[in-house]
A and B are shown apart, each in its own frame.
Chain A
Amino acid sequence: MSSILEFRDTVVTFKSGSGLFSRLGGRDARSFNAVDHVSLNVRKGEILGIVGESGSGKTTICKAALGFHSISGGTITEDGKPVSSNDGSLQMVFQDPLSSLNPRQTIARSLEVPLRLSHASKDKIDHRIDELLGDVGLSSQFRNRYPHELSGGQLQRLAIARALATNPRVLFADEAVSKLDVSVRAQVLNLLKKLRDRYNLTIVFVTHDLHVARFLCDRIAVMYFGKLLELGPTREVYNNPCHPYTTELLGTLNKGRMLQASTRDIFNPLTDDVRACRYLSRCQHVMAECHELHPEQRSCGPDHSVACYLYDHKELVQ
C-alpha cells in the first residue's frame, strides 16, 4: 500500500508565555514541542485514526500538514513533494460545524466559493453544488438557507460537502462528530465510510472517542504529549495493545476502578524532562532506560509498532 502523506521526524514548536509580562520579566519565552519528532505514513485510501487526549498533539499535527502551524523540524510530504497548503488536495472538517461556516453566507454560496476557485462555468458550478449536496444526503432545498437554520448533523454534512468541493486527496476530520448528538453521529460516520469507498478518499480522523475510532478507522495512531506511542491496525491495537498508555486508555472502556490522582499527575511540557519517556510519571513498568531517552518505534506485531523499552528486544521500525 502506497503512502499518500508522510510525516518524517516532524516537529512543531509552540512558545508559551509570550505575553507581555513574561517578556518584561526578561525570560526567553519558553517553548515546547507540541509535536515531537513524529514519523507517520498515511496510506492511500485508508481511514487513519489519531487518538489521544488534550495536549497530545493530535490536532496540531493535522494543522501542521494544512499549513496552519510551521514545522520547526522534519518534513511533511505528499507523494514525495512538500505539502502545499492551498491547492485543495488536503481538506479539513472541524469539530464545531456551526463556527466552521461563514454565518453570513448561504449554503449555496459556501459551496460556490471553493468551486469558483477552479474557474468552472456558472452552470457547471450549479450542477456540482447539487451533486455535492446529494453526495452528503442534503436536498437542494437547503441551497438558500443560512447556517443557523440547519441542525448540527446537517451542518457537518455540509462542511463535508464543502471539503469535497476541491476534490481533495486527504480529508482531515478533527473530532468531527464530538459535538453532534449521539443519534446523529451514525449518519455522519456512515457518510465518511461511504465517501471513502466511493471516492477512494484518504481520511485522517482525529478523536478522543475510542469507540468511534474503532468503528471508523483502519489503523490507529496513539499520541501522548507530542509523541507517537503506538501505531497499528485497529483490531490489532485494541485486542493486543502494546504500550502501557494504550492499555490504560482502553481500560477506560471497562467499568473498573481507577487509581487516585494528585495535583502532580500529568506531564508538564514546560517543566518535566522532555528527553525521557513521556509516559514516565504514570507508567507501571518504569525501567532505568526510560529516564534517559524517549524510546524509538519498534515492531511489536504484524504492521504494529510501539515506542516502549518493554519491546527493546524487538527490531526497530524505520
Chain B
Amino acid sequence: MLDVKNLQVSFKLGRKRLDICSDVSFSLHQGKVLGLIGESGSGKTVTCKALLDLLPENADIEADHLRFRGQDLLELKQSEFDQLRGTEMVMIFQDPVGSFNPVKTVGWHFRHAGKRRQDGFSSKREMMKAAEEALRQVEIGNPMEALSKYPHQLSGGMLQRCLIALTLFCKPSLIIADEPTTNLDNLVERQIIDIFDKLRHEIDASFIFITHDMVIAEQISDEVAVMYAGQIVEHGNTAEIMANPRHPYTKALIRTARELEGDVEFLTEIPGDVTSGLELRDKCRFGPRCPLHEESCDSHIEMREIEDHGLVRCIKAHISENQA
C-alpha cells in the first residue's frame, strides 16, 4: 500500500538549512495500522505531511521513492496528486475545531466531500444516507441531528467523531491520524480510541496513527515505528516491541509508561532533552542522553535487522532488557 524509502525533509530558512527528517523508510500493507510514536522534534508529523504535500513552500522533500499503491508520489503531476489527496489519502489533525468551517453545518461538509468521491452518488438522498452511515460507524446515536449542527454547537469529542466520519465517507485507502485525541478529555479520548480500534477491523484502509502515548499505540496498532530527532530508531511488530524494546529510547519510553501505571517512589528520568540530538550528524542522536553511550556510538548508525524482532538503529541492540 505505502512504501517510503529514504525520506529526507529539510526546511530552508534564509541561508540556513534545517534538517527535520532523515533516512526515514517504512512500508505499510493494506489494512494494517502503523503506530508512529515520537515526541516533539521527532519528525513524526512532518513525515506524514510530506507524504500529503502539506508542508510549506520552503520545505525540501527528497526520497528514493514514496510509493502509494504502486505509484511514486514524487513523480506524479500536481493534478494527479490532487486527485489522490483528500480522497484516497486523508489526514485527521489534532484540533477538530480548526478542521471545520465555523459558518457551515456538518452536513455541508459532507455534501462538499461527497462531490469529490470517486464513485459518485446518484442522488442527494443517497449521499446523505451514506453520510448518516458514516456517522453511525463512529457511534453517533443521532446522525440526522448531528448533520444539522454547526461546529460550535458540538463538543470537541463529537466534532472529532464527525471528522473521522467525514474521512470514512471519502472511502480512502490511507488514513493518517495525527494525535487525534491529545486535546480531548479522558472519557472522550477513550471513546475515540475505541472507535479507531473498531474501525481498523471493519474497513480495509491502512492507518498511520501518530501519537506520543505508547499505551494507545499498543492497543490499536499492528506495527510501531518509534521516531527520535528526525529518524526512525525502532520499527517492528507492536506486541514484540512493547514486550522487548531494544533501542534505549524505546526502552525508556516504555519504562516511564509502566512506572506510571505501577507503583514507584520516583520515576526513572531520562536526562536532557531532544534538542541535544537535533543537530548531530553521523552520530547517534540519542547519544547525549543514552546510558549506554560510548565512543563507537559517534558514527553513522544504520537500521539493523534483529531476528524475530524488527529494525533497530542502535549498535547495542543485542543487549537484552535486564542488562540495560
A residues adjacent to B (C-beta < 8 A): 53-54, 151-154, 181-187, 189-190, 193, 208, 210-212, 214-215, 248-249, 251-253, 255-266
Q: With A186-B268, A215-B264 as given contacts, are A181 and B40 in contact (CB-CB < 8 Å)? A: yes
Contact status B270-A186, CB under 8 Å? yes
Contact status B273-A181, CB under 8 Å? yes
Nearest B-chain residue to A187, judged by Cβ? B269
Contact status A189-B185, CB under 8 Å? no
A-B contact pairs, 17 of them (CB 8 A): A53-B186, A185-B256, A208-B186, A215-B259, A215-B264, A249-B186, A252-B187, A253-B261, A258-B191, A259-B191, A260-B140, A260-B141, A261-B158, A261-B161, A263-B149, A263-B154, A263-B158
Could you tell me the distance between the alpha carbons of A77 and B250 in the complex, rounded to whole angstroms? 47
Contact status B187-A249, CB under 8 Å? yes
Residues from chain A with Cβ under 8 Å of B194 in the complex: 256-258
Q: With A181-B212, A182-B39 as given contacts, are A261 and B256 in contact (CB-CB < 8 Å)? A: no
Pairs of residues from A and B, 8 with the lowest C-beta to C-beta distance, nearest first: A53-B185, A186-B267, A262-B141, A181-B39, A252-B190, A211-B260, A151-B273, A183-B270
Residues from chain A with Cβ under 8 Å of B188 in the complex: 53, 261
Could you tell me the distance between the alpha carbons of A263 and B148 in the complex, rounded to whole angstroms? 11
Could you tell me the distance between the alpha carbons of A255 and B156 in the complex, rounded to whole angstroms? 21
Could you tell me the distance between the alpha carbons of A263 and B270 in the complex, rounded to whole angstroms? 42
Could you tell me the distance between the alpha carbons of A234 and B252 in the complex, rounded to whole angstroms? 26
Residues from chain A with Cβ under 8 Å of B244 in the complex: none
Which B residues, 189 to 210, have Cβ-Cβ distances below 8 Å to chain A? 189-191, 194, 198
Contact status A193-B266, CB under 8 Å? yes
Which B residues, 105 to 154, have Cβ-Cβ distances below 8 Å to chain A? 139-142, 145-146, 149, 154
Cβ of B27 within 8 Å of any chain A Cβ, yes or no, is no
Partner of B261, one of A189, A208, A211, A248: A211
Could you tell me the distance between the alpha carbons of A153 and B157 in the complex, rounded to whole angstroms? 29
Residues from chain A with Cβ under 8 Å of B212 in the complex: 181-182
Could you tell me the distance between the alpha carbons of A249 and B161 in the complex, rounded to whole angstroms? 20
Could you tell me the distance between the alpha carbons of A204 and B182 in the complex, rounded to whole angstroms? 23
Nearest A-chain residue to B40, judged by Cβ? A181
Could you tell me the distance between the alpha carbons of A212 and B40 in the complex, rounded to whole angstroms? 20
Cβ of B275 within 8 Å of any chain A Cβ, yes or no, is yes
Contact status B186-A261, CB under 8 Å? no
Could you tell me the distance between the alpha carbons of A154 and B271 in the complex, rounded to whole angstroms? 11
Q: Which of A181, A256, A261, A262 lies at the interface centre, i.e. has the most chain B CB atoms within 10 A of its CB?
A: A261
In the assembled complex, the CB of A261 is this many whole angstroms from the nearest CB of chain B, namely 6
Partner of A215, one of B146, B191, B267: B267
Contact status A182-B253, CB under 8 Å? yes
If A215-B267, A248-B187, A263-B158 are given as contacts, then 4 extra A-B residue pairs at C-beta distance below 8 Å, sorted by A number, are A53-B185, A151-B275, A186-B259, A262-B140
Nearest A-chain residue to B38, judged by Cβ? A181
Contact status A252-B273, CB under 8 Å? no
Contact status A186-B161, CB under 8 Å? no
Residues from chain B with Cβ under 8 Å of A151 in the complex: 273-275
Nearest B-chain residue to A193, judged by Cβ? B266
Nearest A-chain residue to B154, judged by Cβ? A263
In the assembled complex, the CB of B204 is this many whole angstroms from the nearest CB of chain A, namely 21
In the assembled complex, the CB of A208 is this many whole angstroms from the nearest CB of chain B, namely 6
In the assembled complex, the CB of B72 is this many whole angstroms from the nearest CB of chain A, namely 34
Cβ of B155 within 8 Å of any chain A Cβ, yes or no, is yes
Residues from chain A with Cβ under 8 Å of B264 in the complex: 215
Q: With A53-B185, A252-B190, A258-B187 as given contacts, are A152 and B273 in contact (CB-CB < 8 Å)? A: yes
Could you tell me the distance between the alpha carbons of A208 and B191 in the complex, rounded to whole angstroms? 16
Q: Which of B146, B190, B268 lies at the interface centre, i.e. has the most chain A CB atoms within 10 A of its CB?
A: B190
Cβ of B30 within 8 Å of any chain A Cβ, yes or no, is no
Could you tell me the distance between the alpha carbons of A286 and B185 in the complex, rounded to whole angstroms? 24
B270-282 CB contact bits vs A (8 Å, 1 = yes)? 1101110000000
In the assembled complex, the CB of B212 is this many whole angstroms from the nearest CB of chain A, namely 6
Residues from chain A with Cβ under 8 Å of B257 in the complex: 182
Contact status A261-B145, CB under 8 Å? no
Cβ of B219 within 8 Å of any chain A Cβ, yes or no, is yes
Q: With A181-B40, A255-B219, A261-B161 as given contacts, are A190 and B187 in contact (CB-CB < 8 Å)? A: no
Could you tell me the distance between the alpha carbons of A193 and B123 in the complex, rounded to whole angstroms? 63
Contact status A263-B146, CB under 8 Å? yes
Could you tell me the distance between the alpha carbons of A266 and B311 in the complex, rounded to whole angstroms? 45
Nearest B-chain residue to A212, judged by Cβ? B260
